[in-house]
Amino acid sequence: MSNKDNHKLTPEQYKITQNKGTEPAFSGIYWDTKTEGTYHCVCCGVALFSSETKYDSGSGWPSFWDSLQIDSICKHVDRSFGMQRIEACCEKCGAHLGHVFDDGPPPTNKRYCINSASLDLREK
């Protein structure tokens, strides 16, 4: 993300997307929304997820079983906090989104566990 875009982010959005933070479970604006639309990166605006792949994982964060485009999400090993997870980032700008786990529903068996503050829902 370029410095000129920093002014658009709230302090929470900045903490999460730029400093790899996380919001408390069940606190983000999208964790339980059923609104149809497309979820975009709050930093650069690229489309990341569709409401069609969103599901209630019970985790307290928006969860998706697939990304919108195979190349819209980059994944990195995250060894922070004494554990190993797969970090999900926006491929275009590198913003931290959340993590990907292998305990999701078919057909992918993936759970993209994403911070609401990293997303911008654009309704259908």
Catalytic positions, please?
A: 113
pLDDT in tens, 91-111: 999 999 999 999 999 999 999
Q: Tell me, what's the pLDDT at 7?
A: 60
Kindly list the domain boundaries of the chain, sorted by start residue: 3-123
pLDDT in tens, 21-67: 999 999 999 999 999 999 999 999 999 999 999 999 999 999 999 99
Quick one: fold of 3-123? 2.170.150
User: How far is 115 from 55, CA to CA, in rounded Å?
Assistant: 14
Q: Tell me, what's the pLDDT at 76?
A: 94
Rg of the Cα atoms in the chain: 13
